[in-house]
Amino acid sequence: MSDTRLTFKEMCAKFDVTPRTLRYYEYIELLQPDREGRSRYYESREIARMTLILRGRKWGFPLEDIRQWLLIYESEGTDAQMQNLLELADKQLVELQEQRLQLDEALEELQTMRDATAKDLGETS
C-alpha cells in the first residue's frame, strides 16, 4: 500500500467535498479514518473508498447501496462485489434511461411553450 495519508482538510480539498459531507460519510460508516486525538487521517483504503463513493453518487446510486456494495468487498471479496456491481449498474442504467426520456419530454414541452409565447408576443426564437 501507498504511504499516502491525508488530513481531514486535505481529504475535503482533494475530493472537493464539504466537511459536513465527509463527517456524514463517517457517521453512516462509509469511511473509517484513523484517529489520533481529535485529528482524522485518511490512508489509501479510505481514499479509494471515497473515490468509489463519489463515483457511485455521480451515477445516482443511493448511499445505502454504495455502503452495502463496499461491505460486500470486505465480507465476500472482489468477485462478489463485481457481480453485485453488475446488478446495481443494470438497474441504474434503466432508471437513468427513464429519467432521460422524462427530461427530453420536459425540454420539448418547454421549448414548444416558449416558442408559442414568443410567437404571441411577435418575437422570434
Q: Across the 125 residues of the chain, what is the mean pLDDT of every consecutive 10-residue run?
A: 83 98 96 94 96 95 92 86 92 96 98 95 74
For residue 105, being part of any structural domain is answered with no
The tens digit of pLDDT for each residue in 109-123 reads: 999 999 999 999 987
The 3-state DSSP class for residue 7 equals: strand
As for how many domains the chain has, the answer is 1
For residue 63, being part of any structural domain is answered with yes
Strand partners, 42: 6
pTM: 0.79
The tens digit of pLDDT for each residue in 48-67 reads: 999 999 999 999 999 999 99
**What Å distances lie between residue 22 and 2, 11, 51, 103, CA to CA?**
22, 8, 12, 31
For residue 97, being part of any structural domain is answered with no
For residue 27, being part of any structural domain is answered with yes
Residue 60 sits in a domain whose CATH number is: 1.10.1660.10
For residue 99, being part of any structural domain is answered with no
For residue 125, being part of any structural domain is answered with no
Containing domain of residue 11, as a range? Answer: 5-88
For residue 93, being part of any structural domain is answered with no
